Amino acid sequence: MPFQLEGRLATRDVPLGDHCPISRSLEVVGTRTAMLLIREAFYGASRFDDLVLRVGVTEAVAAQRLKQLVAAGVFAKEAYREPGQRTRQRYVLTEAGHDLMPIVIAFLDWGNRHTEAPTSARPDISHADCGEPVRAVVRCAAGHDVPEDAVVVRAPRRAR
């Protein structure tokens, strides 16, 4: 069942364009390289060379995408220095970057269940404390699991 649309969203006959938060989100993190850089940050990588190697893109592509992700507030640059070396920059997730965790978990889970790969290429996602599987779920602020047909999307009220 589809989401329930209310207000202007239910009767619209034009594209939402930049008014859609999904569209705006995809402008920031909607490329393969962006999502893989974010994945690697969750896996613990922060140095440019490690990110390039783990994602498997050229330095130029990684530099361009990281610049965009820093500008969007997903990553921040942080200075670090290894003994005997010059000061360098590493990339760390910001609060906005950490807010992407449910999306990364959802992609991992969805990919494990709906794409073809050998079992050895399907990472387990589990809770470190109890070992149970971790899943991304849709839950309201009151703690109820919400099925797809119970999601209501309302257009914001117009400013007067």
DSSP string, 82-98: -TTS--EEEEEE-HHHH
- Whether the predicted pLDDT of 70 surpasses 90: yes
Give which of 112, 23, 36 is closest to 74, Cα–Cα.
36
115 phi/psi in degrees, rounded to 5: -120, 155
Whether residue 159 lies inside any domain: the answer is no
Angle at 33 between CA 31 and CA 34, to 5 degrees: 65
Give which of 151, 33, 45, 28 is closest to 99, Cα–Cα.
28
Question: Domain span at residue 38?
Answer: 4-154
Q: Write down the pTM of the prediction.
A: 0.87
Helix (H) or strand (E) holding 11: helix 8-11
Looking at the 3D structure of the chain, how many domains does it have? 1
What is the spatial distance between Cα 84 and Cα 93, in angstroms, rounded to a whole number?
26
Q: What is the CATH number of the domain that holds 81?
A: 1.10.10.10
Whether residue 23 lies inside any domain: the answer is yes
What confidence tens digit (pLDDT) does each residue in 23-58 have? 999 999 999 999 999 999 999 999 999 999 999 999
What confidence tens digit (pLDDT) does each residue in 111-138 have? 999 999 887 888 999 999 999 999 999 9
What is the spatial distance between Cα 9 and Cα 157, in angstroms, rounded to a whole number?
11
Specify whether the CB–CB gap between 94 and 76 falls below 8 A: yes
Question: What's the confidence (pLDDT) of residue 134?
Answer: 93
